[in-house]
A and B are shown apart, each in its own frame.
Chain A
Amino acid sequence: MEELVNLFHGFAVALQPYNIMLMVIGIVLGVIIGVLPGLGGANGVAILLPLTFSMSPTSAIIMLSCIYWGALFGGAITSILFNIPGEPWSVATTFDGYPMAQQGKAGEALTAAFTSSFVGALFAVVMITLVAPLVASFALQFGPAEKFAVYFLAFCSFVGLSKEPPFKTIAAMMIGFALAAVGLDSITGQLRLTFGVTHLLNGFDFLIAVIGLFGIGEILLTMEEGLAFRGGNAKINLRVVLQTWKELPAYWMTSLRSCFIGCWMGITPAGATPASFMSYGIAKRVAKKGSNFGKGEIEGVVAPETAAHAAGTAALLPMLSLGVPGSPTAAVLLGGLLIWGLQPGPMLFVEQKEFVWGLIASMYLGNIVGLLVVLTCVPIFAAILRVPFSIIAPLILVLCAIGAYSVHSSTFDVMLMLVFGVIGYLLKKCNYPLAPLVLAIVLGDKAEEAFRQSLLGSQGSFGVFLSNPLVSTIMILGLIALFWSVIQEGYSRLRSAATA
């Protein structure tokens, strides 16, 4: 019950006119970011983070998280109308969304996509409201060994669940850890890996990495493809919306399943992209009209959109309760917490009640505002895409430069951003995942600290990571996640051997 009281306090915070205004600004900016190529949730939030330095943490997180919701909504618009996924998680939405638009049912597809996004997000927020305080109070008892075990689990699930080759995921992740280690060692106060370069004393800031890897890298990829937008008209009127809403309850089963998939994939840091693909794949296999998938089936829009939005929202649960972000955008928000002087992790629920519950309440409200904004303003957002790329691209590059500069007021960071951009382009082309790299930069110091403190306590014995039931369970779960693909393969081999 205490949670309900806290939640109502949260609503009181989120409903202040100033915060409502930030919410609307955030959503609109977010949709624009989601629609534009080269700007996504993670780097969009990273670029705008410096603007929030002077705000109160609660208002800042409300605006930034709303940018995130907006970006999640926005990805669907370009997928359906232009067959261009504005975000990686909306790739699966193009499979049925674009055919629907070609058949003149763009309005239905968009309504279905937005409504499903909303349902997925709402499900995840309710889950966060109920589960996050429990997880946090549980996590308050964690010592350094348990903390390290949680990081271990998070990174192992990346390796086991990502669709990229496991050793590429490991390589990308380790690059991130190495970058995080550069500079002042927080425990001994010693400098390391700087090789005498003064610019590296403070290490690599992950915000610069995010803006470079995702922003500049994405622009370079788009340039290579020589992108030209062509697409149908977007018109949504109330009649279409109501008609689609009448149709949607028939897919409640798909919707519910996608919610669960999304929440699961969001909490384990697999993220929204695999969640949307998995949900689409399962829906295709299970649905009555499964063979029609890919030709413009509304269920094929409902499944990935629900899962993507549920995953994107659920990614905030581990960030709030454990300090382990479930997605790159959640990682940027976590970076924001540090900048505003808050310590992410379970103590937030004890020390910063107003902040946590204000954020959770704003997640309810933000998604309602988001649904209204996208349903009413689709034609405006679609028009942005008609602005040619040769105008959009330099503007985005300049924005990225401004964002990178204003993190530490350093022009060196701007050059670093471009280097990260080229690296991001190469890694992406060679099928290395970027999300684990970014998460490792964010969590590297904390993971190392937990690791070294545990070893310090045990005098160097690795047995500390199996010393009690709790820590061993988490570590074993981590190992299972790490070898998940191997286990799956072995199991299916065993089964085929048994049936043969």
Chain B
Amino acid sequence: MTTGSSSNTGPTHKLVEAGVTLLIALFGVIVIAGSLKAGINWGAEGPRAGFFPFYIGLFIVASSGINLWHGLREDNDGLFAEWGQLRQVLSVVIPTGIYVGSMPFIGLYVASIVFIAWFMRWLGKYNWITVLAVAFGMPIVTYLIFERWFMVPLPKGPVEDWLDL
């Protein structure tokens, strides 16, 4: 992958960093709001539940303010990442999202088989034999180690019920 050439475009580092800083500040505001709801003053049993997190929230907002100021003042025209690189990242995040989202319904094993196969076939361009060997091999090994050897149950779906595992 080429880096540093001027023809590559993408979001600037400054912009993304400012966005992340604002999100952190927003998180701080949420923490403050939640703490106020829980009570930040002294009750009969001493400091109430929101007392400590309230100040934590204040710290988050204050340090985000300083970070935002530092970030915007910085002379950094660099890119956060190129669009192509971000596409690479999303090509992992989105399938992983589908993978974890489907797990409660179809169980971990089926989801893993589909996920590994998808990843190897589309991103790695392997032939089907290799793909199927790894996609089925890994969950089987996992089943033996986790469920049989260490007795750690993993989420199962209709297929496992049908196979009576």
Tell me which residues across on chain B come within 8 A of A188, comparing CB atoms: 43, 45, 48-49
Is there contact, CB below 8 Å, between A195 and B152? no
Is there contact, CB below 8 Å, between B100 and A51? no
Is there contact, CB below 8 Å, between A167 and B67? yes
A sample of 8 more A-B contacts (CB under 8 A), given A167-B67, A414-B100, A452-B52, is A168-B63, A171-B63, A181-B31, A190-B38, A191-B49, A220-B92, A394-B115, A430-B20
User: Which one, A104-112, A130-138, A418-426, is touching chain B?
Assistant: A418-426
Nearest opposing residue in chain B for A195, CB measure: B34
The count of A-to-B residue pairs whose CB atoms sit within 8 angstroms is: 181
Alpha-carbon distance A185/B27, docked complex (angstroms): 19
Q: A residues touching B (Cβ–Cβ < 8 Å)? A: 50-51, 53-54, 165, 167-168, 170-171, 174-175, 177-178, 181, 185, 187-188, 190-195, 216, 219-220, 223-226, 388, 390-391, 393-395, 397-398, 401-402, 405-406, 409, 411, 414-415, 417-418, 421-422, 425-427, 429-430, 448, 451-452, 455-456, 460
Tell me which residues across on chain A come within 8 A of B132, comparing CB atoms: none
Q: B residues touching A (Cβ–Cβ < 8 Å)? A: 1, 16-17, 20-21, 24, 27-28, 31, 34-35, 37-39, 42-43, 45-53, 56-57, 59-60, 63-64, 66-67, 70, 80-81, 85-86, 88-89, 91-93, 96-97, 99-101, 103-104, 108, 112, 115-116, 119-120, 123-124, 126, 134, 138-139, 142, 145-146, 150-155
Alpha-carbon distance A167/B64, docked complex (angstroms): 8
Q: List 18 A-B contacts (CB under 8 A).
A: A51-B150, A165-B67, A165-B70, A167-B63, A167-B66, A170-B63, A175-B27, A177-B56, A192-B35, A224-B81, A226-B88, A388-B124, A397-B119, A402-B108, A402-B142, A448-B52, A452-B51, A455-B47
Given A224-B86, A418-B100, residue A192 in contact with residue B70 (CB < 8 A): no
Tell me which residues across on chain B come within 8 A of A181, comparing CB atoms: 31, 52-53, 56
Which secondary structure dominates where chain A touches chain B? helix
Alpha-carbon distance A406/B154, docked complex (angstroms): 7
Alpha-carbon distance A448/B52, docked complex (angstroms): 7
Q: Which of A195, A388, A452, A460 has the most CB of B within 10 A?
A: A452
Contact of B47 among A171, A414, A456 (CB under 8 A): A456
Is there contact, CB below 8 Å, between A175 and B52? no
Is there contact, CB below 8 Å, between A192 and B85? no
Contact of A223 among B34, B89, B99 (CB under 8 A): B89
Alpha-carbon distance A405/B155, docked complex (angstroms): 8
Tell me which residues across on chain A come within 8 A of B85, comparing CB atoms: 224-226
Tell me which residues across on chain B come within 8 A of A421, comparing CB atoms: 93, 96
